[in-house]
Amino acid sequence: MNQLDALKQFTTVVADTGDFKQIEAFQPTDATTNPSLILKAVQKPEYRSLLEDTVARYRGRALDELTDRLLVRFGCEILAIIPGRVSTEVDARLSFDASATVTRAERLIELYQAQGIHIDRVLIKVAATWEGIQAAQELERRGIHTNLTLLFAFCQAVACGQARVQLISPFVGRIYDWYKKSAGAAWVEADNTGANDPGVKSVAQIFNFYKKFGISTEVMGASFRNLGQITALAGCDLLTISPELLAQLAQSQAPLTRALDAQQALAQDMAFVSYDEASFRFALNQDAMATEKLAEGIRAFCADASRLDHLLQAA
């Protein structure tokens, strides 16, 4: 049994890509997209027609509507391949506007429903800012399920659990990147792999907290840099993995065993915590890594959203 098949025994495998032609070979259950992945896909010749067709059909409509229609077009293509859910992201430029996030999310769902897609097959991705979490809470009340992304801090995960969001996406690789860069010459790779990887430790802490205290929000590790990070999180609810790393898992015959276990989490020595807005903002501020990576991630997604705007305008 290869490592990909072994991983599927413990964890729901999710494809992290907008390139839906790559998905089928790996037979994931779900798939995730983001502005950067969609931008990367539409610049490939084989996907250019999706952008051009969307613009041709809806020329004259507002730019933000064209963007949403393009995202849903990709999402529908992906849903034709996978049995589960697709995650589609609200414009990152709305990350600090809860009301606008709710409005944009509702439109995405309406566009999916117009294509005959059931609401339960779509997760709306929202940045895990305080405003994003409040928007997600409102969306969940309205029956729209959410995936809280750009999650780096334990306080973000706790607040998402309080809001009863469907799923969170802690960014393993970006956490690892920050600590490696911060340590500089003092970084010893051998001491920071597997269960000791700072990104892996972050997800394990969140997973154990959720399971110990009966929080139903799903944990989906994301943003992986290597196979070791993935195998160290076998047993996590879901893992969203790039096609390149999915291929490496499929080619590996190395043994793979469960690393995270919900039953073992019950025995963890952890205290229950909760946050209101003031304590959330303070906890996030005190976490330099999370503060920097959240801001950086939003800026990067905003830049790619702007690039996608330019492509739509030029088509």
Q: Is the pLDDT of residue 154 over 90?
A: yes
Burial 75-87 (b: 16+ CB within 10 A, else e): bbbbbebbebbbb
Within 10 A of 247 (CB to CB), how many other CB atoms are there? 15
Whole-number average pLDDT of the chain: 97
Domain that holds residue 133: 3-314
Q: Are strands 218-221 and 238-241 parallel, antiparallel or unpaired?
A: parallel
* pLDDT value at residue 147: 98
- Which residue from 68, 70, 67, 81 is spatially nearest to 22, judged by alpha carbons? 81
Q: Is the pLDDT of residue 35 over 90?
A: no
User: What's the predicted TM-score (pTM) here?
Assistant: 0.97
Give the number of domains in the chain: 1
Alpha-helix residue ranges (DSSP H) falling in 252-314: 262-265, 277-286, 288-314
Active site residue 125: yes
Query: pLDDT tens digits for 251-292?
Result: 999 999 999 999 999 999 999 999 999 999 999 999 999 999
Name the phi and psi angles at 215, rounded to 5.
Answer: -85, 125
Report percent pLDDT > 70 for the chain. 100
Instruction: Say if CB 308 and CB 39 are below 8 A apart.
Output: yes
Rounded Cα distance, 277 and 263, in Å: 31
C-alpha torsion sign, points 212, 213, 217, 219: negative
Report percent pLDDT > 90 for the chain. 99
Query: pLDDT tens digits for 10-23?
Result: 999 999 999 999 99
Mean pLDDT value across residues 88-117: 98
CA-atom Rg of the chain in angstroms: 19
Rounded Cα distance, 52 and 243, in Å: 25
* pLDDT value at residue 193: 97
Instruction: Say if CB 83 and CB 29 are below 8 A apart.
Output: yes
- Direct distance between the N- and C-terminal alpha carbons of the chain, in angstroms, rounded to an integer: 46
* pLDDT value at residue 98: 98
Q: Active site residue: 125, 211, 212, 293, which one?
A: 125
Range in 32-36, 82-86, 180-184, 266-270 the model is least confident about: 32-36
Identify the CATH number of the domain in which residue 207 sits: 3.20.20.70
Q: Is the pLDDT of residue 72 over 90?
A: yes
